[in-house]
Chain A
Amino acid sequence: MLHFILTRFASAVFVIIGVSILVFLLIHLVPGDPVEVMLGESAQPADREALRHALGLDLPIHQQLFNYFGNLLQFDLGTSLHSKRPITELLAERLPATIQLAFAGLLVAVIIAFPLGIIAAIRRNTWWDHGAMGVALIGVSMPNFWLGPLLILVFSLWLGWLPVSGHEGWAALILPAITLGTAMAAILSRMIRASLLEVMDEDFIRTARAKGLKERRVVLKHGLSNALLPVITILGLQLGVLLGGAVITEIVFSWPGIGQLTIDSINRRDYPVVQACILVIALIYVVVNTLTDVVYALIDPRIRLGDS
């Protein structure tokens, strides 16, 4: 077990180093001279040299990389060109809103996906099944940057029930959470259906039925609790997709999270902030996935034994 956890953490550290290097290299994608792009053509040469020096872009690349990692280890992500504030401070301000949105999206996904998936599985090949899976397919095919405006149109502008945007109170969280959670609900419900169908063919389900247990108890207790294991892994992976999807959802609803900061910073050509945002989201994703794997292995011995 310890061996499994250690290898898993070692590979996570490797991935984190790789991700950091990739993010470091992003600045070199800027066409031409990044300093000129960031400051605009009218900038004074002295200002340019000052920024070039501040970003370390005047050093040889291995020296830049070395300094970059040195700063990362001290949680120093540099300074925003736009607000002149430390980037870690900006991120700390924005991160709670994104995490709040991601968890709300996750909650919506779970609330929608479980009934859909279970109904589809126990009423297999009936209209219930086709209906539930049809809804799921539409859910996957509906991009969040369209679903969001549609929800605003119906529930905010036409019905006037919920706020158009903003971040005050629970009501403001509902539409963004639905927008973000729908695609995941669709994927999750298909997973739950498939997993439950597989489990329901097992011998212990027949035994449970033969014992005379009520069907509800057979499905929920014996079936679902065993079908949940693969679903948990997907939840971990999907949390990353939620974090990625949050960028667009935040734009639709003017939600003051990291996604909004990323896009605002792209538009302001505040590239150090863009890099930091991407890095932080990727790091959260890696950490969540690693923890999911470890927890999963703790719950299910087949995983860690099969892996070693």
Chain B
Amino acid sequence: MRLYIPLTIVILWLFFALFGSLLPLHPNLIDLTEILTPPNPETWFGYDDLGRPLWDRLVMGAETSFFVAFWVILISTVVGTLIGAFSAYIGGWWDHLIVRIIDIFLAFPGILLAIAMAGLMGPGIDNVVIALCTVGWVGYARLSRAQVLSVRQREHVQAAEALGVPPFQIVIRHLLPLIMAPLIVEATFGVAAVIIGEAGLSFLGLGIQPPDASWGSMIRDGARYMLVAPHMVIIPGIALMLVVLAVNLLGDYLRDRLDVKQRTT
């Protein structure tokens, strides 16, 4: 129960994100007779202010959120983990420097830095990925650094050092496998944060550009027609919340399952 419902939602999200473009959908097809049509038995999700089918656009939004989540999590986990792990393993002034840099990035609350970056680089989905990665890697760097510090004195690491295994291999083969569990949990919660981040930037008009759709930009468009067509705001919001909720539930499940200590934030 606790696992199946969120898992189903995430699988549906992945399915529509990956195969949505193969389905017979017309997210940009304008039907002037259907402008602002609310949900009805024939079209469950209704139409938007330009007469475009909301369901088709929701699927397109799923593609957008998945695209951004995939690349941001991939890039920021790999970059962040490597930086944090090597920093902790090598130590010395290098580690000091990395800690300082992490502190500097953490000084920007929430997605503020991403907002500024996306705003200055100009709108577009690639810039959203870059902006969210710039904010995202820090968490993984901090976590992997702390984790490596706690396991780097283990005997098998000392044994590998005594055998003359180069530092790169020690980190990759002997340290990273030990710290995977908390990183996986963090990355799962990270997916939820990135989905909200992308939608937030698109809501502000800094992300995806028309005619492409993001759940965030759909909420933004819908907010202008709230009195006459509330479904334009409610439906993409529900999709967004369900996916984020499901991912968070999976994160909770993984955390308990992998026995990772409670996150502090």
A residues sitting closer than 8 Å to B (CB atoms) are 11, 14-16, 18-19, 22-23, 26-27, 29-31, 137-138, 140-143, 145-146, 149-150, 152-153, 157, 187, 194, 234, 237, 240-245, 247-248, 251-252, 262-263, 266-267, 271, 274-275, 278, 281-282, 285-286
Contacts and interface: CB of A to CB of B under 8 A. Distances in A.
A282 B121 contact: no
Counting chain B CB atoms within 10 Å of each CB, the highest count among A30, A141, A274 belongs to: A141
10 contacts: A31-B121, A149-B233, A152-B226, A241-B109, A243-B109, A244-B108, A282-B107, A285-B107, A285-B109, A286-B107
Counting chain A CB atoms within 10 Å of each CB, the highest count among B103, B104, B226, B233 belongs to: B104
Nearest to A143: B196
A150 B112 contact: no
B100 interface: yes
Contact of B109 (A23, A152, A244, A267): A244
B122 interface: yes
Contacts of B88: none
B40 interface: no
Nearest to A190: B262
Nearest to B249: A137
B111 interface: yes
A53 to B, nearest CB: 21
A272 B101 CA distance: 24
A146 B244 CA distance: 13
The secondary-structure label for the interface of chain B is: helix
B240 interface: yes
A264 B94 CA distance: 40
A149 B109 contact: no
Contacts of A245: 110
B162 interface: no
B213 to A, nearest CB: 15
Given A145-B219, A274-B116, A157 B101 contact: no
A11 B112 CA distance: 22
A49 B264 CA distance: 51
